Chains A and B, each alone.
Chain A
Amino acid sequence: MAEAVVRELRASFTAGRTRPVEWRAAQLTALVRMIEEKEADISAALQADLAKPHMESYLHEISLAKASCKFSLKGMKSWTKPEKVPSAITTFPSTAQIVPEPLGVVLIISAWNYPFLLSIDPVIGAIAAGNAVVLKPSEIAPATSSLFAKLLPEYVDNSCIKVVEGGVDETTDLLEQKWDKIFYTGNGTIGRIVMTAAAKHLTPVALELGGKCPVIVDSDVDLHVAVKRIAVGKWGCNNGQACIAPDYIITTKSFAPELVDSLKRVIKRFYGEDPLQSADLSRIVNSKHFNRLTSLVEDKKVADKIVYGGQTDEKQLKIAPTLLLDVPLDTALMTGEIFGPYLPIVTVEKIEDSIDFINSKTKPLAAYLFTKNKKLQDNFVTNVPAGGMLVNDVALHLTNPHLPFGGVGESGMGSYHGKFSFDCFTHKKAVLIRGFGGEATARYPPYTQEKQKILRGLINGSFIALILALLGFPREKR
């Protein structure tokens, strides 16, 4: 089945359907229309899949998707133009340019937590770059998956953009095909499987994975604002089920009590006394993840560290925002990516120690720091490797289309958003154009001493050597 899909898309691509900028613009315009006309349906699907509050659906998925489409529509004309670059004296006279071309037929495997955005966003980049696309939405968000399967064919060119639904079997089938690029959003285990499958065909991949995103909170902050931003970045993002949600907090032993108090108050303000009843809190996606999360705090030595929250409702698959303080570092909660509403707080003696702490773990997708202290800010930016980072806020960097979004190390490879999405699915072809003039016989055998001298000068950029070379020195006996 996958083979037939790829064959059809390859035929469409080879026929040149996806190349004209007008075609690409038409697809993106149709996507904008789709998002506008079907906003209610999209929101409903997200509600069904994740109990996602309408506000989150709008703020984090729908509006960002639309903005991404519009940004690409606007930028596409200049992105698709060849870029002139300086030529070298050694190839004088010549002109050089970089011509962007689509890779061909690409596969995009999406995730379940932002099932609309994480599907549409890379698809937008692939279309803008002129590729034919297969989208495989996550089966763990089935309502959104079937929404795509139903809607996309109504709005876009079905001979070049297809949706393939399914689980492990269908995905494996897709991964066995030969693609020109595979874009995967999800976890490291599957990421490895994707890359291994890609290796068979020498297919380049982009992997948007996860990690434990740390938040350093210094005492030199506007605490009232800081905790609001942390809270909305954690529990206001799919209740912690987001790759860039804060995973854990690091602060000083002395500041921790004040921080914990402030966090408690903001959780109450946002979600009320009984968060499980709040309509503004997403649920856990399914029982498998619900059980995974609750087992993280089963162990007494972890449960004992809960300082706020911890309520669960298995029937509704809801877990309340939960704070923990100084959980032992060798527990599962502290070693693996949480991807849920538990927020452990780690304490250190002095705030600078937090940098070493973060660097002792694998590189995260995002790292956050709250402080007014410029020196600490500089230390953080310079010395913490991460996919991306934010000072004095959380998660927002992904909304800026001028910033590349992606991981490094365990958190992934490749980046996208804005023009970076276009680049992700593009091959930058170098084109060098020479004429028949500027013939330098010094290049050719027989390699005499004189020729080598001139060649040496020419390569070293000597203008005189260039003149001599072009004048045909050294003269050869014919």
Chain B
Amino acid sequence: MGSLAEERALGYGGLVSDLREVYESGRTKDLEWRQSQLRGLLRLLREKEEEIFDVLCEDLGKHRGESFRDEVGSLAKSVEDKLQNFKKWAAPEKASSLLRLIDSDCSQPAATPLVAFPATAFVMPEPLGVVLIFSCWNLPIGLTLEPLSGALAAGNAVVVKPSELAPSTAAFLAANLPKYLDSKAVKVVEGGPDVGEKLMEHRWDKVLFTGSSRVGRLIMTKAAKHLTPVALELGSKCPCIVDWLDSNRDSQVAVNRIIAAKWGTCAGQACIAIDYVLVEEEFAPILIELFKSTLKRFFTKPEFMARILNKKHFQRLNDLLDDPKVASTVVHGGYFNAKTLSIEPTILLNPPLDSDIMTEEIFGPLLPIITVKKIEDSIKFLKSRPKPLAIYGFTRNEKLKRRIIEETSSGSVTFNDAIVQYGMDSIPFGGVGASGFGQYHGKYSFEMFSHKKAVLKRSFLIEFMFRYPPWDDSKIGLLRHAFRYDYISLFLALLGLRR
């Protein structure tokens, strides 16, 4: 551990080495401790709910309905799930160790070499140690506390760095996490990119980063210096394929859900928000009309939609419509209010595919609709583009569903709804390719911050002489029998060759 002196010299060195000491003391490995932390998180969510709604409203203009649905409510359920299951997850898991002497499919026996017989084998989950979680500004509570609950359930000491772009939430976390959790083992570090850089100068046992690809690259490059394993939850353009829907009811339900997943989720500023829609050219006008009428019904008051994070992002979104070739394709909305940083729900029909709005992640309330001749063409469209975090499809066609699953690649696929996969604990959440790597939620959050240590135990009792030098052909012959599971020879070997 000679790098302690180095660690102190860099910024946050004291923080890291203190946490290492706390971790080495065994405090966080204790199951009672982990339980108390998870309970603390639940209490925080319950007792401070109003304050959480307040800070989310301050930072993002989120309505409490949205905040409860997407951050507080689902989070509480998830922490509860961890509380109930973490002991099971932390227990050693037996692995098969005996070679299967009688195999039902006798042609290819399971391969556990005889020389390792007999043995007890199990996998022992252990915490990685001292971990760092970078959160993002758009779901500032959820994206901090969900991984935090996993890291704690797994027995780690944790540093959390909330995004400075959601300052009220960051301050809230800095003030309250020490009150509800063990402040010696869980720390909040506030600040901007320079703070993030300084933190990454140190070695961590794991880093989870949620944010942009650009910063993701920087994080991974810095992590490589220390061989710190990382998980990156990055952005992407999540497409929504809308098949021809015959019934009016189906179309209405689809539109409801798409609206909720675009404008009802942080005004489209979410990694799993629907970025754009793919639809057959004949169905597009029907869809657009439905969007218009439903949007009017849903967003009766401006407070029901979150605002844009800040001037910079507001300007970025504004600039997407700069190009007259893009602006001319707006079929609904388009009103930008720089004073309140709000943009009304805006729909575009077939903006040029090489425009910024179709090449960059929109992360805002602008929804391009791209038409195709037949809906199956959308699969080819997706295959030529970077792998997104989520692909959505609204369809009753089982063949189309199968093709989407088998022929496209994405973090996840959801049919006939959107965003809801985020709140589920039984399926992993994470990207692939350009949308990142590493998965969490539910048990996966526990595993993300664990090492599964393989343990094999033998006795001194049975020894196979042919394992040891000096080696000659007869020993090799015996081994061949062993590896071919020649049971007669095995039996003879056991009898004749003990010690």
Instruction: Give A residues with C-beta under 8 Å from B.
Output: 14, 53-55, 58-59, 63-64, 66-68, 70-71, 73-74, 85-88, 90-91, 94, 96, 98-99, 101, 103-104, 180, 188, 191-192, 195-196, 198-200, 202, 204, 207, 209, 221-222, 225-226, 228, 231-232, 236, 270-272, 278, 280, 359-360, 372, 377, 381-383, 385-393, 396-397, 399-405, 408-410, 412-413, 415, 427-436, 439, 441, 443-447, 451-452, 455-456, 459-461
In the bound complex, do residue A389 and residue B415 qualify as a contact, i.e. CB atoms below 8 Å apart? Answer: no
* Interface check B409, CB cutoff 8 A: yes
Asked if B427 and A447 make an inter-chain contact with CB atoms under 8 angstroms apart, the answer reads no
Q: A204-B437, A434-B416 are in contact. Are A429 and B409 (CB under 8 A)?
A: yes
Which residues of chain A are within 8 angstroms of B39 by Cβ–Cβ distance?
A: none
Q: Is the CB of A403 within 8 A of B439?
A: no
Q: A96-B427, A447-B63 are in contact. Are A402 and B95 (CB under 8 A)?
A: yes
Number of A-B pairs whose CB atoms are under 8 Å?
313
State in angstroms the CA–CA spacing of A23 and B23 once bound together.
Answer: 48
A400 neighbours in B (Cβ, 8 Å)? 95, 97, 112, 116, 119, 121, 454, 456
Q: Contacts A391-B456, A433-B415 given: A198-B229 contact, CB under 8 Å?
A: no
Query: Which range holds the interface residue count of chain B?
Result: 35 or more
Q: Measured between alpha carbons, how far is A14 from B414 in the docked complex, in Å?
A: 23
Task: Select one of A359, A392, A401 contacting B459, CB under 8 A.
Answer: A392
Whether B5 is near chain A, meaning CB under 8 Å from some CB there, is no
Asked whether A198 lies within 8 Å of B220 as measured between CB atoms, the reply is yes
Residue B429 contacts which of A209, A231, A430, A447 (CB distance < 8 angstroms)? Answer: A430
| Contact assessment for A397 and B414 in the assembled complex, using a CB-CB cutoff below 8 Å | no
Out of B111, B229, B459, which one reaches A68, CB within 8 Å?
B111
**Cβ–Cβ contact A88 & B423, under 8 A:** yes
Report B-chain residues with C-beta under 8 Å of the C-beta of A221.
Answer: 460
Q: Are A386 and B453 in contact (CB under 8 A)?
A: yes
Are B479 and A58 in touch, CB under 8 angstroms? Answer: yes
Q: Interface on chain A toward B: helix, strand, loop, or mixed SS?
A: mixed
Residues in B neighbouring A392, C-beta threshold 8 A: 457-460
Contact check, A430 vs B412: say whether CB atoms are below 8 A apart. Answer: yes
The answer to whether residues A195 and B224 also contact, given A55-B471, A90-B423, A396-B116 and a CB cut-off of 8 A, is: yes
Q: Which residue of A lies closest to B251 (CB)?
A: A436
Of the listed residues A228, A232, A386, A432, the one surrounded by the most CB atoms of chain B closer than 10 A to its CB is A432
Does B413 have its Cβ within 8 Å of any Cβ on chain A?
yes
Q: Identify which of A87, A429, A455 contacts B69 (C-beta below 8 A).
A: A455
Contacts of B77 in A (CB 8 A): 459-461
Q: Smallest CB-CB separation from A270: which chain B residue?
A: B469
Q: Is the CB of B426 within 8 A of A63?
A: no
Shortest distance from the beta carbon of B93 to any chain A beta carbon, whole Å = 10
B300 within 8 A of A: yes
Cα A280 to Cα B471 in complex, Å, equals 7
> Quick one: which of B65, B69, B254, B417 contacts A91, CB cutoff 8 A?
B417
From A104, A200, A408, A436, give the contact of B453 (CB < 8 A).
A408
A402 to B417, CA, bound (A): 38
Could you tell me the distance between the alpha carbons of A446 and B411 in the complex, rounded to whole angstroms?
31
24 pairs, A vs B, C-beta closer than 8 Å: A63-B113, A63-B483, A64-B113, A66-B483, A73-B108, A88-B423, A104-B433, A188-B227, A271-B469, A271-B470, A280-B471, A385-B451, A388-B455, A389-B456, A390-B455, A401-B112, A430-B427, A431-B405, A431-B427, A441-B256, A446-B298, A447-B63, A460-B73, A460-B77
Q: B118-132: which have CB < 8 Å to A?
A: 119, 121, 123-124, 126, 128-129
What mask results when residues 418 to 448 of chain B are scored 1 for a CB within 8 Å of chain A, else 0?
A: 0011011111110011101111000000000
Does B381 interact with chain A (Cβ within 8 Å)? no
A214 to chain B, nearest CB (A): 15
Decide if B427 touches A445 in the complex (CB within 8 Å).
no
Partner of B110 from the list A74, A381, A429 (CB cut-off 8 Å) is A74
Q: Which residue of B lies closest to A458 (CB)?
A: B73
Which chain A positions have C-beta within 8 A of B414? Answer: 431-434
B68 close to A456 (CB less than 8 A): yes
Q: Is the CB of B469 within 8 A of A180?
A: no
A6 to chain B: closest CB distance in Å? Answer: 14
Q: Is B111 within 8 A of A71, CB to CB? A: yes
Kindly supply a per-residue 1/0 record for chain B positions 238-259, scoring 1 wherever the CB is within 8 Å of any chain A CB and 0 otherwise: 0000000000011001101001
- Given known A-B contacts A192-B225, A431-B412, A200 and B401 have beta carbons under 8 A apart: no
Q: A434-B416, A445-B300 are in contact. List 17 more A-B contacts (CB 8 A).
A: A55-B479, A59-B467, A63-B479, A88-B426, A96-B424, A96-B426, A191-B227, A199-B221, A202-B433, A202-B434, A280-B470, A388-B454, A393-B116, A400-B97, A402-B96, A415-B452, A430-B411
In the complex, residue of chain A having the shortest beta-carbon distance to the beta carbon of B419: A443
Measured in the bound complex, the distance between the Cα atoms of B414 and A331 in whole Å is 58
Establish whether residues A199 and B224, one from each chain, have CB atoms under 8 Å apart when the complex forms.
yes
Given contacts A200-B217, A392-B457, A461-B77, contact A436 B249 (CB under 8 A): yes
Instruction: Report chain B residues within 8 Å CB of A393.
Output: 116, 119, 456, 458
Please state if B128 and A408 are interface contacts (CB–CB under 8 Å).
yes
Give chain B residues whose Cβ lies under 8 Å from the Cβ of A209: 227
Q: Do the beta carbons of B457 and A390 come within 8 Å of each other? A: yes
Question: What residues of B have a CB within 8 angstroms of the CB of A88 in the complex?
Answer: 423-426
Chain A residues with CB below 8 A from B254, complex form: 436
Known contacts A71-B111, A427-B409; decide if A432 and B427 are in contact (CB<8 Å).
Answer: yes
Given A396-B116, A408-B453, A456-B73, A432-B432 contact (CB < 8 Å) = no
List the A residue with the shortest CB-CB distance to B220: A199
Contacting residue for A360 out of B1, B115, B216, B437, CB 8 A:
B1
B60 contacts the other chain (CB 8 A): no
A432 touches B456 (CB 8 A): no
Residues of A contacting B108 in the complex (Cβ-Cβ under 8 angstroms): 70, 73-74
Expressed in whole angstroms, the minimum distance between the Cβ of A152 and any Cβ of chain B is: 22
